[in-house]
Chains A and B, each alone.
Chain A
Amino acid sequence: MMLPWLPFIYQYTICSFFFIAIIILSIKKKAISIHHPTDRKILLEIIAGYLIFIFAHASMILIAGA
């Protein structure tokens, strides 16, 4: 049962590294500001969207085995 999860873990490990690194860099270099309400809203939307994809892929694996 571990095999279907291997691509999931691989994809989200590499993508999450890239995803988080870019967010940290953007904040550090002041491309966005977490004190700016619009920037904060966009940041939360992007993180929420990413979590939706993680959840959707995990659900598809679970449903396939149901």
Chain B
Amino acid sequence: MIKGTTIDFAIIVIYFIVILGFGSFFGKYVKSTKDFFFGGQRFSWWLIGFSCVATTVGSYSFIKYSAVAFEYGLSSTMTYLNDWFILPIFVFIWLPIIYYGRITSIPEYFERRFDSKTRTISVIILLIYLLGYIGINLYTIGVAFNAMLGWDVMVTAVVIAFVCALYMHAGGQTSVIMTDLAQALMLLTAGILIFILGIDKIGSLKTFWTSLPYEFKLPFSPFNKPPDFNFVGIFWQDAFGSSMAFYFINQGILMRFLSVRSPRDGRKALFLVCLVLMPLAAFVVANAGWIGKSMSIHGLLPSDTNPNHIFVEVVYAITKPGTFGFIMAALIAALMSTIDTLINGVAAIGVNDIVKNIAPDNTDAYYLKWARLISLLAAIIGVALVPLFMQFKSIYVAHGTFIAAVTPPMIVTILFGILWKRYTTQAATYTLIFGSIAMLISIKWPGILTLFSHGVATEGLQYLRALYGLTICSGISIAMTLLPASKEIKDLPGLVVDTIHEGKVLFKGGEPDDFDEGKIISSHIVEVNEGVSLSKAMMEHLQAKPGDILYISDERWWLGGLKSIHAKAGPPHDSSDDIILIGTDLIVQGNLDINRKVTAMKII
């Protein structure tokens, strides 16, 4: 089933060259490990929102969700539309903890909240999770391209990993965010294009809609059947398993939210993701399946088409040479935008949790060199894991087994850690160790999952592994914490829900002033020796006082904060009301252009 013409191949090659050049270009903005891992904490909410969606949509998404959509209809969207309930805990608790606590990695949170032993355990679990995730994504794209273009699985994995690692090596988080924006736009465009071309092929939107059966139009699949796509299993695996893992233990996503210019922008980014981009992504990744169903009803495709091939079959049936290549390139974009985040996450854990422990007190340049080296190493290990995932019956079994086995102990430990001040180090350690053992037991003896079946047939029990894991791990956490001997008194400033205010005080180095957000002002720059100073009128406009942290950015909004800086406001100056005095080092650090106006806003 090899598809594709010379034009299609040419488009894919051009895509590789453009994305490599585009990603590498941002290497010039990386001057420190803070830039490499967190993009200098300067980006706007819309940039972070788009890049998050590009990360969510992996290479397997188009193929997997189109297959599900072809078989079960609009219920294929349910996995993308159940994240909103997580928002209060993320926005009110987790985001302030990581942002104001300047948490550089998930394991670092474990050490500060618990101890170094839990940090070590979490490093091991997270590296398995992230490297395995890279391997699965590379394997998926290899399988897809083997079927569609005849490329060898390993050759595809090596080429894509190589391109990704190259631009990551150069630009770190800045390259990830910028290329992910481009890739998000590309994959969203490709998905919408498939729908438009598909409707054109079928005849009209009305013909498409009326051809679909009633069950096909429902937003949820039946409660506990069929075994491979029932509501209750997907709900627990996805909403409480994958989504929680995505927002709370994915190092790449943590770093993405630490790259925003303020927690306010982090919140806006999350709103954009959950309310707009995820529903759009749900439509984009699945609509080839809905179109395929309608086409098969109208005799435009064989009704016995293999669901796993429906994405390619539909795309090939509705596109012309060139458009097919563009959609294939979008598939690569979906992959690359996922694994670049994961590679950056591995590099952050490698440097912050391993290298800095082994070789402390070195220069930032030394750690930056290691960050780049670990990025390359992560890509190589990801490729090396591809043959391992080839052993599984299918991509989905490999993916589901892997994620469900790794994530519940970490999710439960983090949630209890941030929500319950009394939660002890001993309880966290036991949850991580015995929770992981419990997950392995459920893989070896899946019959144990019957206790949580909700009436789901035996073949579908693996989807309830997340519920099993969350229940067991929560039980261990509660039991160990409530043991009379396990009481511990610890000062946890900014690390639990009770002490978020203390975290803000530590972040600012004084009492936080976030009661009134103030307004944004626009002004010219005047270079001075050091510090930042605004006129008295400007400070009043911003509702800021000396000592408050300000965000100063190039006035061109579409740069998304690429040229910007955070700085403490100094005492007001007596010069003109339309200039901001900024120190030379801050101008260089923020890549600010002295001839352009800047905007300023108060952060805290």
Contact of A31 among B92, B231, B239 (CB under 8 A): B92
Q: Which residues of A contact B235 (CB under 8 A)?
A: 7, 10-11, 14
User: By the criterion CB–CB under 8 Å, are A25 and B497 in contact?
Assistant: yes
- 19 extra interface residue pairs, beta carbon distance < 8 Å, beyond A11-B220, A11-B235, A42-B92: A3-B223, A7-B78, A8-B220, A15-B84, A15-B85, A15-B239, A19-B85, A22-B89, A22-B93, A31-B92, A36-B515, A38-B517, A45-B271, A49-B275, A50-B87, A57-B219, A60-B217, A63-B217, A64-B218
User: By the criterion CB–CB under 8 Å, are B217 and A22 in contact?
Assistant: no
Q: Which residues of B contact A53 (CB under 8 A)?
A: 81, 84
A52 to B83, CA, bound (A): 13
A18-B85 in contact given A26-B497, A52-B275, A60-B219 (Cβ < 8 Å) = yes
Q: Which residues of B contact A46 (CB under 8 A)?
A: 87-88, 91
8 A Cβ contacts from B233-248 to A: 235, 239
B257 to chain A, nearest CB (A): 15
User: By the criterion CB–CB under 8 Å, are B96 and A31 in contact?
Assistant: yes
Kindly report which residue of chain A lies nearest to residue B275, judged by CB atoms: A49
Q: Which residues of B contact A29 (CB under 8 A)?
A: 497-498, 500
Q: Is A44 an interface residue (CB 8 A)?
A: no
User: By the criterion CB–CB under 8 Å, are B74 and A60 in contact?
Assistant: yes
**Could you list some 11 contacts between A and B, CB below 8 A?**
A8-B219, A25-B419, A29-B498, A30-B500, A30-B501, A31-B96, A32-B92, A38-B516, A50-B85, A57-B81, A64-B218
B325 to chain A, nearest CB (A): 34
Q: Which residues of B contact A56 (CB under 8 A)?
A: 81
Q: Is B514 an interface residue (CB 8 A)?
A: yes
Classify chain B: how many residues form its interface, as a range.
35 or more
Q: Which residues of B contact A6 (CB under 8 A)?
A: 223, 231
A61-B497 in contact given A25-B419, A46-B88 (Cβ < 8 Å) = no
Kindly report which residue of chain B lies nearest to residue A52, judged by CB atoms: B275
8 A Cβ contacts from B74-122 to A: 74, 78, 81-82, 84-85, 87-89, 91-93, 96
Contact of A19 among B88, B271, B498, B514 (CB under 8 A): B88
A62 to chain B, nearest CB (A): 10
The 5 closest A-B pairs by CB, nearest first: A7-B220, A64-B217, A15-B85, A7-B231, A60-B219
A47 to chain B, nearest CB (A): 9
User: By the criterion CB–CB under 8 Å, are B500 and A31 in contact?
Assistant: yes
Majority SS at the chain A contact face:
helix
A51 to B89, CA, bound (A): 17
A61-B219 in contact given A31-B500, A42-B267, A49-B271 (Cβ < 8 Å) = yes
A8 to B78, CA, bound (A): 11
Q: Which residues of B contact A16 (CB under 8 A)?
A: 85
User: By the criterion CB–CB under 8 Å, are B82 and A26 in contact?
Assistant: no
Residues on B facing A (Cβ under 8 Å): 74, 78, 81-82, 84-85, 87-89, 91-93, 96, 214, 217-223, 231-232, 235, 239, 267, 271, 274-275, 419, 497-498, 500-501, 514-517
Q: Which residues of A contact B517 (CB under 8 A)?
A: 38
Kindly report which residue of chain A lies nearest to residue B73, judged by CB atoms: A64
Kindly report which residue of chain B lies nearest to residue A48, judged by CB atoms: B275
Kindly report which residue of chain B lies nearest to residue A54, judged by CB atoms: B84
Q: Which residues of B contact A25 (CB under 8 A)?
A: 419, 497
A41 to B66, CA, bound (A): 38
A46 to B96, CA, bound (A): 16
Kindly report which residue of chain A lies nearest to residue B514, judged by CB atoms: A38
A20 to B85, CA, bound (A): 9
Centre residue among A31, A50, A61 by max chain B CB count within 10 A: A31
Classify chain A: how many residues form its interface, as a range.
35 or more
A45 to B218, CA, bound (A): 27
A57 to chain B, nearest CB (A): 5
A45 to B81, CA, bound (A): 17
A45 to B275, CA, bound (A): 11
User: By the criterion CB–CB under 8 Å, are A11 and B271 in contact?
Assistant: no
A35 to B376, CA, bound (A): 50
B419 to chain A, nearest CB (A): 7
Kindly report which residue of chain B lies nearest to residue A51, judged by CB atoms: B84
A43 to chain B, nearest CB (A): 8
Q: Which residues of A contact B231 (CB under 8 A)?
A: 6-7, 10-11
A16 to B87, CA, bound (A): 12
A53 to chain B, nearest CB (A): 5
A60 to B96, CA, bound (A): 35
B587 to chain A, nearest CB (A): 31
A56 to B81, CA, bound (A): 10
A49 to B276, CA, bound (A): 11
User: By the criterion CB–CB under 8 Å, are A65 and B219 in contact?
Assistant: no
Q: Which residues of B contact A4 (CB under 8 A)?
A: 218, 220
A64 to B419, CA, bound (A): 40
Q: Which residues of A contact B219 (CB under 8 A)?
A: 8, 57, 60-61, 64
Kindly report which residue of chain B lies nearest to residue A35, judged by CB atoms: B515
A25 to B94, CA, bound (A): 13
A5 to chain B, nearest CB (A): 9
A25 to B92, CA, bound (A): 10
A51 to B87, CA, bound (A): 13
Q: Which residues of B contact A11 (CB under 8 A)?
A: 82, 220, 231, 235, 239
B416 to chain A, nearest CB (A): 13
User: By the criterion CB–CB under 8 Å, are A26 and B275 in contact?
Assistant: no
Centre residue among A7, A42, A45 by max chain B CB count within 10 A: A7
Kindly report which residue of chain A lies nearest to residue B234, judged by CB atoms: A7
A56 to B515, CA, bound (A): 34
A22-B220 in contact given A31-B96, A36-B515 (Cβ < 8 Å) = no
Kindly report which residue of chain A lies nearest to residue B74, judged by CB atoms: A60
A50 to B86, CA, bound (A): 10
User: By the criterion CB–CB under 8 Å, are A49 and B85 in contact?
Assistant: no
User: By the criterion CB–CB under 8 Å, are B223 and A49 in contact?
Assistant: no
User: By the criterion CB–CB under 8 Å, are A49 and B87 in contact?
Assistant: yes
Q: Which residues of A contact B214 (CB under 8 A)?
A: 64-65
B453 to chain A, nearest CB (A): 14
A54 to chain B, nearest CB (A): 9
A16 to chain B, nearest CB (A): 7
A42-B498 in contact given A7-B235, A49-B274 (Cβ < 8 Å) = no
